[in-house]
Each structure stands twice: as structure tokens, then as C-alpha cells.
């Protein structure tokens, strides 16, 4: 009933609204198009860095790379994992396909740097910072390798990349696996986590108290439920020691949330490691399918029978992995009501507030559709997802009718009213691949509404931002006050209806500029 209540929008009203708003936004965007494209080009060139030597905080990289932020910015000056994926796919490689050789070299340099990090550490860190060696991020390297190989066709390079991907896959299967039962056998799905030691977790907790201000005094007051198994039944802990362990437990879950890229969000309710996430498992499933395709490509150019046998052995391994993951995801993550995969909460606590077994509908559920992975969501299901996640024709991180999302005692930037570039392109690509008859307008609306947000800000200060706010007026503020807690809203939105969360909203090129560039080139 809740879902139906939000989906009952008259077709004529919906279409006429979109025609008016899309036409108005499109006219404004066309007027600014060339100026914005030039600004993006200049800004993206300014993100290119070459730092081959280690510094006090950063890991040296052998190739030039593109950071999320331009020169002169103190934030995001390193190579960030999943930002590099969106920057490559939606800016550098489209430029390369238009004949820009330097753009291709930057894109390949980004990938080669990630391969270098895998070979050095056994996984890709969140970014090339020593402080981020305690976590990875959404493992999109195989998608990036696929993009490069489709252009270059360089089999020798592919062989080197595949060796690194074998190491990355091993990292996730050995360090982030959860055993689930399918047809009588135990198989592995994956979760986000971290490999931080006690000292690092203490430091991260202190960081959280600063970043999540002003609500940090209540971080453990209902924010997470701590299982009794955390404490040794044969040891009586002093109250301050028990409090420290609770803090470390909380910090560990939120460090895992940082590995997801959604730092921080109501999506996991402060218990990130207790969820089997839809995006992570779809990306790993796509990685396993990519490895099948890569080994087939390598076999086509291999003449050594011994190497062909090894390649075939690994090919069969990944074919089985694809089948196994699909079966497990279909059993545990597929939701019949929504017609899509959702995060799955696999653990139940024995004390404190119970964690929900039903997961939230979030924009992460677009990843399997985007990657064409697993059970197919039909067009009507995608349409329902978008209706539940959209506000002012942009995609929110979490569906607006999810009451559970209001329970967090601290501000979460991966939540309404914040608008993020990756979620717009995921949703746009998903509905683009499965449109209903009337969804032409929805496809156009996502693109034009995102461009309107970006160009409006750009007209003000000539800058692009990490994220934007969907709030445009006082009535929106009231709506969001009903949508989530009033206290949180007052912390998150100022009198100009702009985002004010955590570390603020820094100037950023990266995925913001890349998605904007891609949308501007569309007819």
C-alpha cells in the first residue's frame, strides 16, 4: 500500500509536467552548453597529476592520473577508486573515441595505476593514501579494463591486467566473504568490511565524532546494536573498556560503510558489515563474467598448449562462479515485490535493538540492471523503482517512503535531499535499457534535471560540486522535514537550500564533470 500510494501519478499530469519542465530546462542548458563544456575540459585537465614518489601521506603512482578535484584544492587530490571509473567511462574515454589520444592515455594511466596498487598491496585501496590502506572500494577495475581493451585490443596489456584482477578477486573472496546455503551447499557472497587494526579504529572513531557533529554525542545511543558475543563471557570488562569496545565496533561498521563509498547513509543502519550489498555482489558478478570473456580473448591469441590449459582452467572456474553467485543472489537478494535485487541483512543480533531483515529500496539496486547482471528486472519494475526514488526528476539515494531511513541519530550525506552524479547515470542507463511507452520523458527528465542543477550552480560561481541539493524552495524544505527528521534537515540544508553535511560540499570535477559532459553530448 505504501508503494502504491507513491506511484499513483496520473499519466497525463506526469507527462505534461515533464514536457514543461524538460523543455524549460533544455532551453537553458542549450544556451550554456558550449561554455559549460569548455569549463569541464579546462577543469578536467587541471585534475591531472603526476606524483611517482611516496610522500608523507600519499602513495606514489607510476603514471599520470586524474583526481576528483582540480589543482589548488586541498581535498580529493589522490586517485579515488570508483570516482576513476566514472571519470574514465563518461569523460576520458568518450574524448578518446573522438580521437583525443591524450585522453586515452590518461584513462589507461588511471587503470595502470590501479593495477600497480593491486600488485603492490593485493587489492585496490580506497585511494592512494597510506591512511586508506585499511579498506578498498567498489571493485570496478574489471569494468575499467574492459573499457580500455575494447579500444586498444592490446592482448599483452590484457594479460597483465588479468593477473592483477585475479589478485583482486582473491582479496574479496578471502577477506569479504559470507557463507550462505544454496541447494544444500555453502557458497560465498560478499560484504563490505575493513582490515583496520585497533589503533586505526580508535583514530577513525575520533574522526567520526568530528565529522558527524553536532550529533556525535549520541553516536552510540541507539545508533548501533552491540552483540553480546563481542565480549568474552569469561572476562569482566571495566565500564570504560566496554565503552571503548563499543566505540571500536561502531567505527568498524562505519569504516566498512566508507568502503562502500556511501559514507555515510541510513542504507545499512550503522551495521554495514551485516549486509550482503546488492551493488558489491553485482559488480563482483560482472567481474567474474568479465574474467570469462578475458580468458576467451587471451586463448584466441595463445599458441602454447600449457598456457591454454591454464587459461581454460581459470575460465571454467569463473563460469562456475557466475552461476553460483546468480543462484545465491536470486535466493537471498531478489525481492519479488519490487522486482529487483535489494541488500540482504544476513545477521540477527541477540541483544539491543534488532536489525531489520527487510532492506531499504535504494539507488544501489540499479547496479545489476546497469551491468546487465543476474535476474532481469522488467521495464515496469524499473519504472516503479524510479518513481519511488525520484524527486524533482533527480534520483535520491533512498526511496522517499522508507520510514526506516529516518532512524539515524546522525546526519547522512548519502540520503535525501542530496543528489549524486553516479546515481543519476545508473538510473538513466537503467531506464534507457528498459523503457515503457511513457518513459521517454523520464529518461529526458533525469538528464535535464541533473544538468539544470549543475549549470545553475556553475552560473553562480563557475564551479562544479561533489553533490547537490534537490531542495529549491520553502515548500521543499517542509516536504523534506516530513520525509526525514526536522533536526537533521536543519543541519543539512541552509537558508540558500544548499548541502551542508559533514565536510561540506567541496569543489569537484571527477564524476560530477564526467556525467555532466556525457549528458551534454546526448541529443
- pLDDT per position as a tens digit, 2-55: 334 333 333 333 344 444 455 556 666 777 999 999 999 999 999 999 999 999
pTM of the model: 0.89
> Residue 157: is its pLDDT beyond 60?
yes
Whole-number Cα distances in Å, 319 to 140, 183, 315: 19, 18, 6
- Segment 164-183, tens digit of pLDDT: 999 999 999 999 999 999 99
- pLDDT the model gives residue 218: 43
- Alpha-carbon distance of 448 to 322, in angstroms, equals 37
d(CA 252, CA 273): 8
Query: What is the predicted pLDDT for the residue at 46?
Result: 96
**In 263-287, which positions are buried (b, 16+ CB within 10 angstroms) versus exposed (e)?**
bbbbbbbbbbbbbbbbbbbbbbbbb
Q: What is the mean pLDDT of residues 443-468?
A: 93
Query: Do the beta carbons of residue 26 and residue 443 sit within 8 Å?
Result: no
Do 351 and 228 contact (CB within 8 A), yes or no?
yes
Q: How far apart are CA 104 and CA 152, in angstroms?
A: 9
* β-bridge partners, 177: 190
Looking at the predicted structure, is the pLDDT value of residue 304 above 90? Answer: yes
DSSP state of 133: T
Position with higher pLDDT, 476 vs 424:
424
Contact 224, 245 (CB under 8 A): no
pLDDT, position 23: 55
Which phi and psi angles does 168 have, rounded to 5°? -65, -45
Residue 171's nearest CA partner among 237, 120, 212 is: 120
Provide the pLDDT for residue 229. 42
219-277 pLDDT, tens digit each: 444 444 444 443 333 333 344 666 778 889 999 999 999 999 999 998 998 899 999 99
Q: pLDDT over 90 for what percent of the chain?
A: 65
**pLDDT on residue 478:** 60
Q: Are the C-beta atoms of 273 and 192 separated by less than 8 Å?
A: yes
pLDDT > 70? residue 348: no
Quickly state the pLDDT bin for 203 (edges 50, 70, 90): very high
Selection from 395, 384, 378, 502 nearest residue 447 by Cα: 395
C-alpha to C-alpha distance for 491 and 218, rounded to whole angstroms: 15
The reported pLDDT for the residue numbered 332 is 95
Amino acid at each position: 500500500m505504501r508503494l502504491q500510494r507513491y506511484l499513483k501519478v496520473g499519466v497525463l499530469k506526469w507527462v505534461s509536467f515533464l514536457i514543461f519542465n524538460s523543455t524549460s530546462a533544455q532551453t537553458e542548458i542549450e544556451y550554456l552548453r558550449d561554455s559549460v563544456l569548455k569549463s569541464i575540459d579546462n577543469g578536467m585537465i587541471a585534475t591531472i597529476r603526476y606524483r611517482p614518489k611516496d610522500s608523507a601521506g600519499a602513495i606514489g603512482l607510476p603514471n599520470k592520473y586524474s583526481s576528483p578535484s582540480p589543482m589548488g584544492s586541498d581535498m580529493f587530490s589522490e586517485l579515488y577508486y570508483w570516482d576513476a571509473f566514472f571519470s574514465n567511462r563518461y569523460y576520458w574515454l568518450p574524448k578518446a573515441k573522438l580521437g583525443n589520444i591524450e585522453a586515452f592515455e590518461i584513462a589507461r594511466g588511471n587503470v595502470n595505476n590501479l593495477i600497480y596498487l593491486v600488485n603492490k598491496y593485493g587489492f585496490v585501496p580506497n585511494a592512494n593514501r597510506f591512511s586508506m590502506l585499511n579498506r578498498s572500494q567498489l571493485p570496478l577495475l574489471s569494468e575499467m579494463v574492459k573499457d580500455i581493451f575494447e579500444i586498444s585490443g592490446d592482448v599483452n596489456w590484457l594479460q597483465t591486467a588479468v593477473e592483477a584482477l585475479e589478485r583482486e578477486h582473491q582479496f574479496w573472496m578471502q577477506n569479504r566473504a559470507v557463507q550462505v546455503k544454496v541447494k544444500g551447499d555453502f557458497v560465498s557472497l560478499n560484504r563490505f568490511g575493513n582490515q583496520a587494526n585497533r589503533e586505526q579504529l580508535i583514530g577513525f572513531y575520533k574522526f567520526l565524532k568530528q565529522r558527524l557533529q553536532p550529533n556525535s554525542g549520541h553516536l552510540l545511543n541507539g545508533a548501533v546494536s552491540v552483540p553480546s558475543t563481542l565480549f568474552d563471557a569469561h572476562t569482566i570488562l571495566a565500564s570504560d573498556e566496554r565503552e571503548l569496545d563499543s566505540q571500536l565496533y561502531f567505527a568498524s561498521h562505519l569504516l566498512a560503510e566508507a568502503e562502500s563509498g556511501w559514507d555515510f547513509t541510513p542504507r545499512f543502519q550503522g551495521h554495514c558489515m551485516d549486509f550482503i550489498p546488492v551493488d558489491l555482489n553485482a559488480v563482483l558478478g560482472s567481474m567474474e563474467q568479465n574474467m570469462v570473456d578475458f580468458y576467451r580473448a587471451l586463448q584466441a591469441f595463445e599458441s602454447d598448449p600449457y598456457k591454454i590449459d591454464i587459461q581454460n582452467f581459470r575460465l571454467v572456474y569463473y563460469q562456475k562462479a557466475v552461476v553460483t553467485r546468480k543462484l545465491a543472489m536470486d535466493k537471498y537478494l531478489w525481492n519479488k515485490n519490487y522486482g529487483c535485487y535489494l541488500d540482504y541483512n544476513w545477521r540477527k543480533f541477540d541483544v539491543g535493538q534488532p536489525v531489520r531483515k527487510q532492506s531499504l529500496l535504494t539507488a544501489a539496486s540499479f547496479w545489476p540492471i546497469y551491468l546487465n547482471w543476474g535476474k532481469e528486472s522488467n521495464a515496469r519494475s524499473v519504472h516503479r523503482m524510479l518513481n519511488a526514488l525520484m524527486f524533482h526528476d533527480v534520483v535520491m539515494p533512498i526511496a522517499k517512503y522508507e520510514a526506516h531511513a529516518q532512524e539515524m541519530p546522525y546526519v547522512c550525506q548519502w540520503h535525501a535531499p542530496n543528489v549524486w552524479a553516479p546515481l543519476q547515470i545508473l538510473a538513466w542507463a537503467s531506464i534507457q535499457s528498459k523503457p515503457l511507452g511513457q518513459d521517454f520523458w523520464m529518461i529526458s527528465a533525469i538528464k535535464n534535471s541533473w544538468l539544470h542543477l549543475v549549470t545553475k550552480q556553475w552560473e553562480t560561481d563557475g564551479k562544479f560540486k561533489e553533490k547537490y541539493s534537490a531542495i529549491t524552495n520553502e515548500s521543499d524544505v517542509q516536504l523534506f522535514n516530513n520525509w526525514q527528521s526536522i533536526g537533521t534537515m536543519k543541519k543539512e540544508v541552509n537558508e540558500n537550500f544548499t548541502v551542508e553535511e559533514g565536510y561540506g560540499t567541496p569543489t569537484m570535477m571527477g564524476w560530477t564533470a564526467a556525467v555532466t559532459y556525457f549528458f551534454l553530448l546526448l541529443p
